[in-house]
Structure 1
């Protein structure tokens, strides 16, 4: 046998016997280390801002931050009021709007409240400009007065489709908040106040359905979903592992040992996260479930070997040492490759995936250490009862028959597998990217159901433009305002656009007001001085909190145009952005050119950015894993060969997803790295047993494949079942990214099992039989 493998075996056996000799020291040390690192968990906090999904280097985030530094931030809470009647213009509903508007100013961090009741309606009395709330004392309005307010509202471009529907059936109240960003409790505090206000208004004004949505509700949902998942997924995963381990091992000692290993590993992973001040998100929180799932694999391989050795009559101590010896190298290799795969997530453009990768990598490293130290120590202490058998188990008989089938039909299997892989690969171009942040949550989350209701009546996806003027005060220039008005009219012709907000509408209304409300003057003023006077007079008439600071910058050298989109896909948003940029280039002077920005723009391009970055990350991971396999197997040929059944499952997964689902979000970019580190495990264990049979026992290619199936086939199958169930648990998450990642990983694991059982042995038969034939021919030639 190769001296390298012999040295590794001797080291692992000596290490295991030393661990058994000092088992109590090892157990106490493991407990002490776990408790020490676990104290970091007390520092963990949930992030409550969607911006955590974007790195500091993200250009779309930088552009959005610049916009919000220039104007008012768009963190908001939107109350959508849908009365049972077909109109919102009743005394009861308008009184509710009036009361809610007044009380909404008391929501923590609120700096502005907009509704149809406090809309600053302008009119003229001779030469005086009158600016007042559109609705005052709603309870005592007559039917005629309410009807006139309805006509004004649905005819006002700044209100219709923004705060009231065209039919007047539904209305909304928008609360803008500005957080000092000094505490993670700021968003939950504001959201809780908004929910209490909603409940109070609902009880005082029955017959009105009030939904809550907006950016602050979105931000709060991230932390709420993380806590929901933490309270459901982790306990459920523990239960699944407990049941599965018991069913597989039928051993209390083995079950207890596995649970302690995975528990300690999870604590270490999350404890390290706490020490590094990682803010938890639904994505990074799923690391616990992933660690629990993957940490089982190492222990199961060792315990299945231990059970088999004990049944063959070996003593307990010798069986533990031999079980570790047989699995030391494959367990080590699979742990390293899994760690590499998850560390590749650091190439992502989204920090939560960095955190998922780093936390999971830490937990997997801890699981490897505990599997090779704590597990043998525990098994040497705990009582183990195994019936000795003199005949092969049914599972080994089944694996031998499978091996015989593969050996007999390996050429057909090889060709068939290639055709199936090519078929799946051909479907990959059918896959489309789509990220709609409202749909990141399922119906268990109130934000999702409320946002779905709001989307029926109003837009939810704003696109912002900060349009520069030629110089300070230039926003009053007739040329500037005329060009702005042309852009607004163009936007309103777009089918994706639900509402457009621009000061050009205000300027047209003021021009009409200052000409005796003559409708023929409803256009942009022709004189700069006149426009500036109108604007100044209007601003001086506005109450505190309802000024134009959210629309015009300080020196009046730029204004903000907001186009709010309907429910749109990522591709539709990209088309819209490209078309508006083309329109600007064709119709605006150079100084007015503007780049779009907003959360919607950020999420639109995060998929492309993530995919581009993760292609690099996955390639690095593939190269690193290939090198690890070459070094571990002491064979360039086998190391490179192993990457074929490791890479193909990913391509098959993307193809299958394109056929079954069709759409993916930006989390898909991370699946390759996550899956690659996991599916390598089966290949490593199969090849390690194959190499051991060839080198240690010196048997033929056919018999080496039978040896691998008999000695590791059941363990591979068992681990696959555990991994599938573990990631299936992840699909019960209330967060869509976790669900997608779980489903795609399940597909890749299934495809990996099929390829490792059918394609890999067939590939070995082709490659190694050819090699054996060549060696025999050379030997014959040398003898002659």
Structure 2
């Protein structure tokens, strides 16, 4: 009954499409215009990808820190390592450059050499006063020599913050306005103000200025994402159109396919704008993905049309058969592909959820466009010429099909042994996979800003902030000497950790105060004794500048203090060990009844997010397998067939995971996507093959061998065509400058290639080997949905549609 309903449904769809072609085309144009009007709502992300749910404990801790001290990722640093800097002319030019940024609304504060202050004891008024290192400008070599001697030898408070005394590297810290650091105004400041000024300085002084810091890195990285969207779309169009033309040898068919996928891309951008989502490194992949996934739809539909035309010569009848015979199969394969992406909707990560929603909706949209536009356009075009049909008789394709058939007939044991060896080798490789929680690993290694990141890692031990929040549970608890000593002990561990920079906190300020109290002797840059603390505290209270000195390190109540350090780009394992060591020291040093100490910061949040995604990978992939199994159960009504069909699709995933282990490709947010995407796409071939196999069984009176080989010959060519398009289409992503995108493209391409071979060799071999158990009328029941209609369709309905046109 349902079979008849399905057949009748697609007959109705075919008649509706072919009878209302002008109205449908006008509707498509109207929807496209509507979506294009939504593009204005698209915006590019100005924040780091938060992979954790909003209510996750790590996010809550980080948000608590931001509530107390505000945005922590607002620091841009400029650095110079050049001996010619230490001339009167160049040091003044450097100070002038640094000073010029104070005039911008986007900047909260600038700390440069000219802004450095000496903390000096005023015995008369019993207070500390600040005196600038440079009062106006450097006018002589003697002044410059005094300045460098003070900096590098007498004031350890500033060491490793604004200079590295060992390498004599100097840097300037620019603190962006916290209110605009996560908005488009950040981009305007970086591109319109910061970069031109630096370029002018470099040209005038012939010195190389290094620039880094999270706002700067994020801005240039986001711009790279924007730039690559156009490159990916152009690359995907070029590659897929070229392959399409080589298969069909028809400019007409190629142009029609390009129109369809270009409309699909426009709809995708419209969906992003309509949902008011940001364009992230993941959503930027969807438009080219739609091109790559849409072209196989076009191949199936146009290939079927040309087959039908060649068979009986009736164009309108051929177009109706395209819809009725291929429409349901194409719908099912697009639904399974969309399901692979849709599993990300069920994760609690906003980033992945948005990716899953946009990708799955876009896949359904490209199916609708294909099933509507291709038949309608062909009704207006003349009958295909002989040269357009020549590809249907290509001998080399026949040779490929014969090779597959021969392998399945004669080398079945070889196929099984090869599959087993690959499985064992892959399992070994899987144990070598590492997890990466690096914020910068996927960034372009060729980009200049990436070299600058490495420069600051080498000179100042990193740019990625790691924060420790100390809650003393009482007002002014931070100023207690016992608290300062505990913080100092924790800072000693941080200093001993080579992957972390020298920490900055109120402890450093109090040590600086003692140095000032002892008339600036650097030997006394240390915490005061209890008696000294009483005197120093009175000096600090009397100082007019004490609030300015403390506000960056301690909150207004004196209950909370922060210890800020910067981290190198390290692997997840090493980062976890660092966190464990710090936490162990915290547990040992800070009694829980008196203190609540937490570790946070962007680097830690991202690393925890990656771990969270890895834990959800198995859930996401299991959901994809479960959903697709339900589809297949609904279509084939056989549990045993579901198991057999999953084997050739799971094996490529295991092989890919093994390759990741052997090649050192880590599990990270970008490569996590590979498995669900590849599984959702590769299972399409299985559906096509099994649907045709069931049809062959009925036509051949349940003669299994004949049916397997018939299905192999019938579906092998189309599976080969679509797999080649998908392989080269996903390979476009390997031109990316982002390591994660390159890995995604290469891994999905490899997986789909393995999946094609697995479906063409392993699947038919399994069907033949297990014929007694799975290929009989009792086990292989009548399907709920006949995704490839039987050949004895009612021609009367088709003729009615033809006559109506």
TM-score between both structures, scaled by the size of structure 2: 0.90
TM-aligned CA deviation for residue 454 of structure 1: 2.6
Q: Distance in 1 between matches of 2:776 and 2:360?
A: 43
Q: Distance in 2 between matches of 1:726 and 1:217?
A: 32
Post-superposition Cα deviations, 1:127-155, rounded to whole Å, max 9, x if no partner, equal 56341222334431434652553453465
Give the structure 2 partner of residue 700 of structure 1. 703
Give the structure 1 partner of residue 496 of structure 2. 493
Pair 1:112-2:109 in alignment: yes
Post-superposition Cα deviations, 1:468-505, rounded to whole Å, max 9, x if no partner, equal 22521122211111111111122211222222112212
TM-aligned CA deviation for residue 552 of structure 1: 0.6
Q: Distance in 1 between matches of 2:618 and 2:768?
A: 32
TM-aligned CA deviation for residue 704 of structure 1: 1.7
Pair 1:629-2:632 in alignment: yes
Q: Distance in 2 between matches of 1:775 and 1:347?
A: 36
Q: Distance in 1 between matches of 2:256 and 2:144?
A: 76
Listed as ranges, the matches of 1:417-436 within 5 Å are: 417-436=419-438
- How many matched pairs? 769
1:680 to 673, 680, 683: 683
Give the structure 2 partner of residue 747 of structure 1. 750
Post-superposition Cα deviations, 1:199-241, rounded to whole Å, max 9, x if no partner, equal 233344x032112211211331343123201221112222222
Q: Distance in 1 between matches of 2:325 and 2:776?
A: 30
2:719 to 716, 724, 744: 716
Structure 1 pair 573/52, CA: closer, same or farther in 2 (3 Å)? closer
Structure 1 pair 263/374, CA: closer, same or farther in 2 (3 Å)? same
Q: Distance in 2 between matches of 1:4 and 1:419?
A: 43
Listed as ranges, the matches of 1:742-781 within 5 Å are: 742-771=745-774
Give the structure 2 partner of residue 541 of structure 1. 545
Give the structure 2 partner of residue 782 of structure 1. none
Q: Distance in 2 between matches of 1:705 and 1:142?
A: 89
SS of alignment partner, residue 663 of structure 1: coil
Structure 1 pair 398/518, CA: closer, same or farther in 2 (3 Å)? closer
Q: Distance in 2 between matches of 1:513 and 1:401?
A: 86
Post-superposition Cα deviations, 1:297-336, rounded to whole Å, max 9, x if no partner, equal 1121122222233333442223333333332332121111
Pair 1:324-2:323 in alignment: yes
Structure 1 pair 497/277, CA: closer, same or farther in 2 (3 Å)? same
Give the structure 2 partner of residue 671 of structure 1. 674
Structure 1 pair 391/663, CA: closer, same or farther in 2 (3 Å)? closer
Contact 1:324 1:372 (C-alpha < 8 Å) held by counterparts = yes
Listed as ranges, the matches of 1:469-480 within 5 Å are: 469-480=472-483
Listed as ranges, the matches of 1:66-215 within 5 Å are: 66-85=64-83, 88-124=85-121, 126=123, 129-143=128-142, 145-153=144-152, 156-181=155-180, 184-192=183-191, 193-204=193-204, 206-215=205-214
1:532 to 530, 537, 548: 537
Give the structure 1 partner of residue 302 of structure 2. 303
2:657 to 639, 654, 659: 654
Structure 1 pair 280/232, CA: closer, same or farther in 2 (3 Å)? same
Listed as ranges, the matches of 1:503-582 within 5 Å are: 503-517=506-520, 521-525=524-528, 526-527=530-531, 529-538=534-543, 540-541=544-545, 547-582=549-584
Pair 1:283-2:282 in alignment: yes
Pair 1:453-2:451 in alignment: no
Which 10-residue stretch deviates more, 477-486 or 176-185?
176-185
Q: Distance in 2 between matches of 1:722 and 1:101?
A: 53
Contact 1:83 1:207 (C-alpha < 8 Å) held by counterparts = no
Structure 1 pair 283/534, CA: closer, same or farther in 2 (3 Å)? farther
TM-aligned CA deviation for residue 413 of structure 1: 1.2
Post-superposition Cα deviations, 1:219-277, rounded to whole Å, max 9, x if no partner, equal 31343123201221112222222222211112233222212221222222221221111
Pair 1:220-2:219 in alignment: yes
Give the structure 1 partner of residue 263 of structure 2. 264
Q: Distance in 1 between matches of 2:331 and 2:437?
A: 38
1:46 to 21, 44, 47: 44
Structure 1 pair 79/279, CA: closer, same or farther in 2 (3 Å)? same
TM-aligned CA deviation for residue 714 of structure 1: 1.3
SS of alignment partner, residue 164 of structure 2: coil
**Structure 1 portions without partners, runs of 5+:** 777-784
**Structure 2 portions without partners, runs of 5+:** 780-805
Q: Distance in 1 between matches of 2:58 and 2:773?
A: 55
Structure 1: 4+ residue segments shifted above 6 A? 388-391, 773-776
TM-aligned CA deviation for residue 598 of structure 1: 0.6
2:505 to 502, 506, 529: 502
TM-aligned CA deviation for residue 444 of structure 1: 5.0
Structure 1 pair 596/768, CA: closer, same or farther in 2 (3 Å)? same
Q: Distance in 2 between matches of 1:31 and 1:562?
A: 55
SS of alignment partner, residue 472 of structure 1: coil
Which 10-residue stretch deviates more, 471-480 or 394-403?
394-403
Q: Distance in 2 between matches of 1:529 and 1:330?
A: 83
SS of alignment partner, residue 432 of structure 1: coil
Q: Distance in 2 between matches of 1:513 and 1:179?
A: 32
Give the structure 1 partner of residue 782 of structure 2. none
Give the structure 2 partner of residue 407 of structure 1. 409
TM-score between both structures, scaled by the size of structure 1: 0.92
Contact 2:472 2:559 (C-alpha < 8 Å) held by counterparts = yes
Post-superposition Cα deviations, 1:520-553, rounded to whole Å, max 9, x if no partner, equal 6543221454353243345x236x9x54211111
Give the structure 1 partner of residue 59 of structure 2. 61
Structure 1 pair 517/454, CA: closer, same or farther in 2 (3 Å)? closer
Q: Distance in 1 between matches of 2:12 and 2:520?
A: 96
Q: Distance in 2 between matches of 1:271 and 1:148?
A: 58
Post-superposition Cα deviations, 1:175-220, rounded to whole Å, max 9, x if no partner, equal 112243599421112212211331233344x032112211211331
Contact 1:345 1:354 (C-alpha < 8 Å) held by counterparts = yes
Q: Distance in 2 between matches of 1:523 and 1:561?
A: 17
